[in-house]
Amino acid sequence: MNNPEPHILIIFGASGDLTKRKLIPALYELFEQKLLPEKFAVLGVSRTELSDQEFRQKMREFLPGTSKNEAQLTIFLESLFYQSLETSFAGDYLKLKKRLETLGQTLSIPANYIFYLSTPPLLYPVIPQILAESGLNDVSQGFKRIIIEKPFGTDLSSARDLNRKLLSYYTEDQLYRIDHYLGKETVQNMLVTRFSNGIFEPIWNQNFIHHVEITSAETLGVEDRGGYYEHSGALRDMVQNHLMQLVGLIAMEPPVVIEANAIRNEMLKVFQSMRPIRETDVPNQVFRGQYTQSHINNEHVKGYREEKGVDPQSKTETYVAIKFFIDNFRWAGVPFYIRTGKKLPTRVTEVVIYFKTIPHHLFVYQSDSEPINNQLVLRIQPDEGILLKLGMKVPGAGFRVQTMNMDFHYNELSNSYLPSAYSRLLLDCMHGDATLYSRSDAVEKAWECVQPILDAWQNNPDIPVYGYPAGTWGPETVDNLVENSIWRKPCKNLAHDGEYCEL
């Protein structure tokens, strides 16, 4: 791969946790792999008063350090610069513009700029507008791109309003709405699994697939983010963005080419084909829950309403499970199930394809009177890999059948460089490749899919919030959502799935 064009990456909110813990380490990873341009600089921007050297020292604390790579670290840190700025004051942006011009002249870098908004969402419409009014959206002298972190709006109305404001100053190809889930190697591999293997694509449809289950579970609670989470909840925090993107990749039609617009067009079609969940359908198709106090490994665990910053009468969901359908030729009648939650037994994200059972049962099954569905498990984290569950003969007399596993693990590719999610996405933006970034129409369509759920919860106070003890798989009532009342209970380990469970 060719290195990107020389440019300056400007990080707004440079004193925040995301910059220190994710962005700068991701850039250093690219630097170590020699994937950054030869002429490159990072300009951190924040209200805090810091010198270039003080900023470098703060970032140094979050980078791996050994005597072997100290010289490399020094070279990388010298590419970091800092500019104090009041982000909501237009007059300060003249200082930013002059500083960029000075850096460009000193380091022989053309006016190619990437602006990363690692800031509170209320600044998402403010910073791009002032940048544009300061002439920093002008592409006549070099490219200008903006990376925007989630959440992209808090509902359909705010997402449309934000898109309208951004598109009044920038073209769609200048806007990069980042979702770090799409930067994960195993998420991208779902496309390769589907479209590079002739054994999967012919059966990837309603003729062979019984249902699809997507799980994103966390063992952590809200920790010290109770104040933020009260205004977010699991639906906004996980479903509208991360999990909807997974649905798009699993359900999309084959693109004509592996190119940004072709892939994003097909994902948009998935969202357009989703059967609307009406407000009256919400009580039967959507279940929400909150974790309650419990004991995990003999330690007392607080309930959500006891967390700092949380309303003692809060109805904010820490768990949500949804059943929905995609009304097109490929998926007609196939139910999709999504669930996500905090304080669950293990941290795991995976997609499970349940294939239909054979039409005529010839054999006796070892553990069940009825044969289980073949399953294809696409594990995103942890123990990343792919698992296929098959029926095999038990050794000995007769034809008794038991389920066996065929699996592949990404850690077997030990000789390959696997970039972190942020490294991959930053590098793609540097190359001008928006394949793994969300487009404005898809963002709005995803919000359209979940908005009726938010409206129903707002308008109908009788819709219950079910409690579930911390450390369990959510409210028991969600079993009624799934046919046969069977949810998969994944473990940390993908290998030996079903034989033992590591939590």
Cα(181)–Cα(84) distance, integer angstroms: 31
Q: 3-state secondary structure string, 435-453?
A: CCCECHHHHHHHHHHHHHH
pLDDT at 149 over 80: yes
Q: In the predicted model, is pLDDT for residue 371 greater than 70?
A: no
Catalytic (active-site) positions? 242
Residue 419 in this model has a pLDDT that exceeds 70: yes
Q: In this predicted structure, what is the pLDDT of residue 66?
A: 57
Average pLDDT of the segment spanning 81-92: 93
Check pLDDT > 60 for residue 253.
Answer: yes
For 91-136, the pLDDT digits (tens) are 999 999 999 999 999 999 999 999 999 999 999 999 999 999 999 9
Question: Over 80: is that where the pLDDT of 379 sits?
Answer: yes
Question: For residues 339 and 481, is the Cβ–Cβ distance under 8 A?
Answer: no
Q: How many CB atoms lie within 10 A of CB 116?
A: 26
Hey, what amino acid is at 150? Answer: K
**What pLDDT score was predicted for residue 291?**
96
Beta-strand pair 175-177/80-84 = unpaired
Residue of 157, 147, 144 whose CA lies nearest to 124: 147
Q: 446, 270 in Cβ contact below 8 A? A: no
Tell me the pLDDT band of 158, cut-offs 50, 70 and 90. very high
For residue 381, the tally of other CB atoms under 10 A from its CB is 15
Rg (the chain; Cα; Å): 24
Do the Cβ atoms of 427 and 419 come closer than 8 Å? yes
Quote the mean pLDDT of the chain: 91
Q: Residue 293 has what pLDDT?
A: 94
The strand pair at 286-292 and 294-296 is best described as: unpaired
Alpha helices in 134-195 (DSSP H): 156-167, 185-195
CA distance 128 to 146: 8
